[in-house]
Amino acid sequence: MCRLLLTTVLVLGAQGAWAWQSAGTPSLGEIAERTKKEREAARGGKPAPKIVTEADLKSAPANPDASAGGAETTPAKPPAAAGAAGQKPPKTDDELRAEKKKEYEKRIAEQDQTIAVIRKAMEDAQLELNDPTTASLLGTRGAALRKLLDDGQVELKKAEATIAGIEEDARRQGISVSRP
């Protein structure tokens, strides 16, 4: 009798716990449905992206230009015909060298602009340090200005080294570059 009572209590308790748990938390299906709706809303009505699987790749024809009926395909056009069809002809060596020269000179000009900005900041800092009317008021500002001057020297050296590297690369390519 005690065993029957214990079994009944356990069964009823388990059913109550199951009912309590399922009432408070959403099921996996409900979570999946809610996530699907959120994704559709995030796409803004756009269709879902196509997912290509390995099975799709295996079933695809080896030549995507081949027709579905199995008819013979036309051979690829020779390179001369492709140039006549509106494609640009390959660039000459002189054109390629001119493009590379412009690229190198652009990079050098950017570094020159960086150097000019650094020098201007250093000049302003030095003028402020040399100003006799504010010399007694500098305090920690003076230390910051001196650090700016030191850091500016380091940055100038880096920019000069970058320019030297660019010029060396251009020289190795056989391209003469000049600074603006």
Residue 180 lies in a domain: no
For the residues of 19-30, what is the DSSP string, one character each?
Answer: HHHHHHS--HHH
Range of the domain at 138: 94-172
Cβ atoms within 10 A of the Cβ of 118, count?
19
Residue of 117, 128, 103 lying closest to 156 (CA atoms) = 117
In a domain, 21, yes or no: no
Q: Establish if 119 belongs to a structural domain.
A: yes
pLDDT band at 30 (very low <50, low <70, confident <90, very high): confident
Percentage of residues of the chain with pLDDT beyond 70 = 67
Residue 20 to residues 6, 17, 25, 106, Cα–Cα distance (Å): 21, 5, 9, 71
pTM score over 0.75: no
pLDDT at position 82: 47
95 pLDDT higher than 80: yes
Q: Sorting pLDDT into bands at 50, 70 and 90, what band is 106?
A: very high
CB 73 within 8 A of CB 63: yes
For residues 60-76, average pLDDT: 55
Q: Return the pLDDT at 63.
A: 64
Highest mean pLDDT among 49-58, 89-98, 155-164: 155-164
In a domain, 111, yes or no: yes
Higher-pLDDT residue of 20, 113: 113
Are the beta carbons of 142 and 115 closer than 8 angstroms? no
> What confidence score (pLDDT) does residue 57 get?
76
Looking up tokens 């003076």 gives 142
Tens of pLDDT along 118-173?
Answer: 999 999 989 888 888 876 666 788 888 889 999 999 999 999 999 999 999 999 98
Q: What pLDDT sits at residue 12?
A: 57
> Quick check: is 157 in a domain?
yes
Residue 132 within any structural domain of the chain: yes
Q: Region of 176 please: left (phi>0), alpha (psi -120 to 50) or beta.
A: beta
Please give the pLDDT value at position 24: 64
Report the percentage of the chain scoring pLDDT > 90.
27
Mean pLDDT of the chain: 76
Winning range, highest mean pLDDT, from 51-60, 110-119, 138-147: 110-119
Domain count across the chain: 1
131 in any annotated domain: yes
Distance CA 24, CA 86 (A): 67
Q: Is residue 128 part of a domain?
A: yes
Please give the pLDDT value at position 58: 76
